[in-house]
Structure 1
């Protein structure tokens, strides 16, 4: 009976598995053809660097170029291969140093036991950028849950980040207490289902992110983006909530509030795009936003 009197709870039930997608995206890499047309000059080759932090290795891929450096961070369940087409396109179009990496538990990086914590993800990124000699003139390009990493990173490291492009990314404004309370039963249902499945790297990472989900995101909700760091928020037209129009609108509203909450912020809607596939469906929008940001901060 309570579900019939609580609109947000009804939205949560309708969304079923969707909230996990907000933080984790889908766990498959989009299929797309190479973005380098036949007969054109290819982008510079990237090199791989392994960085040890807190007794685990994090894998970084670097395409050399000028500063500011573009640091591309994919959504949960997605490795650096998420950027396999966009990274060389950005390197060629902008001439910038381009860095992609696998967060702990993703791609080629080591797994770390225990719940996922954004503080640990920030520490890994800090260690990698220090090792690569990139501790200023950084532009973050962050997708989905990487928006949480970006928000915490810019607050902890003033002076490192010149600007950011958030690609249908998590922003604090969405995770209200009311929303998290309504979605709590969905998270518990997801955890039960995953525990019943074979233990895989993917499932372990999903469970790690869901641990203490409401508590973690209530803390995230209280954060603010620094007013001196320009940011562009690109929103996919389908949002992570393609199966729930009500939840999708709440996501759009949260993104709009974020964009309106401070100076030097832009809000871009990427028409005909999905949450996970946005970088392959409309790479021109992402590339354009990055190019515009580079012109702003150079």
Structure 2
């Protein structure tokens, strides 16, 4: 196979932005007995970020949704995890998502990590945390963990972007898809959601070539959940995605690989919340 032969017809923009859907910010659950969340606005680098916190024990669980999604992606799972684990649960809107401010220019992983660090400081969450990260949020989790290995007790990557996937071969083959998606978005009305997706597409290849070189710290336990329905329609692209996830899971100690049957990249949290919750509970057992 040549580097240009990978078929890349896409369901959505999973690599840089999981779905072209944005939801309202995470509300406290109305379910009987569900813990309620308090909302905090945190300022970092002259923009505001919205965080939601359900109080509980440490280590706190930090839930981070994919591109184009707000903190409400976790609206059912967050209170469930708070209730069943007794842990503090933090969800938040990254810059440009949900109720958080937009920032100008291309999306930068380092800026997203800085925002998360600022949020945790403002919440006085200086101890170790467990990261639960979906899709593009896997890039934030990996960069955060590589930079702050002593701050991460463990992680669950939910069909997340792992460094192994972004080879030169894949990025070269994916370039025309990014351009087509960009053209499609530019032809649509300018909305906060679309502007954020366009920011992710800007400098996509150089950003992800750099990300490809990152390594997950071997001291931090991580469970990799892979959905049975990948972000791709094309069988070869789907295989490359699955293979990258498996390689990542096998590349170091304290790593687990879980395949969530009958799930999609976008919908796993609502389709199989038990799988995600189970992985979180397993990681918590490992860090006690």
- Distance (Å, rounded) in 1 between the aligned partners of 2:22 and 2:209: 29
Change (3 A) 1:99 1:45: same
Superposition map of 1:101-250 within 5 A: 101-241=92-232, 243-250=233-240
Superposed CA deviations along residues 264-296 of structure 1, whole A, max 9, x for unmatched, are 000000000000100110000000000011111
Confirm whether residue 23 of structure 1 aligns to residue 16 of structure 2: yes
Query: Shift in Å at residue 135 of structure 1?
Result: 2.0
The two structures, once aligned, show a CA RMSD in angstroms of 1.9
In the other structure, the counterpart of 1:11 is 6
User: Is 134-143 or 267-276 further displaced after alignment?
Assistant: 134-143
Change (3 A) 1:245 1:37: farther
Change (3 A) 1:29 1:114: closer
Superposed CA deviations along residues 35-76 of structure 1, whole A, max 9, x for unmatched, are x897xx522110000000000000000000000100000000
Q: What secondary structure is seen at the aligned counterpart in 1 of 2:188?
A: coil
Confirm whether residue 273 of structure 1 aligns to residue 273 of structure 2: no
Query: Shift in Å at residue 202 of structure 1?
Result: 1.2
- Distance (Å, rounded) in 1 between the aligned partners of 2:97 and 2:205: 22
The answer for unaligned runs of 5 or more in structure 2 is 24-28
In the other structure, the counterpart of 1:85 is 76
Query: Shift in Å at residue 7 of structure 1?
Result: 4.8
Count of equivalent residues: 285
- Distance (Å, rounded) in 1 between the aligned partners of 2:223 and 2:255: 6
Bigger helix fraction: 1
- Distance (Å, rounded) in 2 between the aligned partners of 1:153 and 1:17: 28
Query: Shift in Å at residue 212 of structure 1?
Result: 0.8
Confirm whether residue 96 of structure 1 aligns to residue 80 of structure 2: no
Query: Shift in Å at residue 178 of structure 1?
Result: 0.7
- Distance (Å, rounded) in 2 between the aligned partners of 1:28 and 1:197: 14
Match of 1:289 among 276, 279, 287: 279
**Residues 61 and 101 of structure 1 are in contact (CA less than 8 Å); yes or no, is this contact kept in structure 2?**
yes
In the other structure, the counterpart of 2:247 is 257
Change (3 A) 1:37 1:47: closer
**Residues 71 and 93 of structure 2 are in contact (CA less than 8 Å); yes or no, is this contact kept in structure 1?**
yes
User: Is 156-165 or 227-236 further displaced after alignment?
Assistant: 156-165
Please, what TM-score do these two structures have when normalized by structure 2?
Answer: 0.95
Superposed CA deviations along residues 181-206 of structure 1, whole A, max 9, x for unmatched, are 11111111221222222211111111
Superposed CA deviations along residues 233-287 of structure 1, whole A, max 9, x for unmatched, are 000000111x211111110000000000000000000000000100110000000
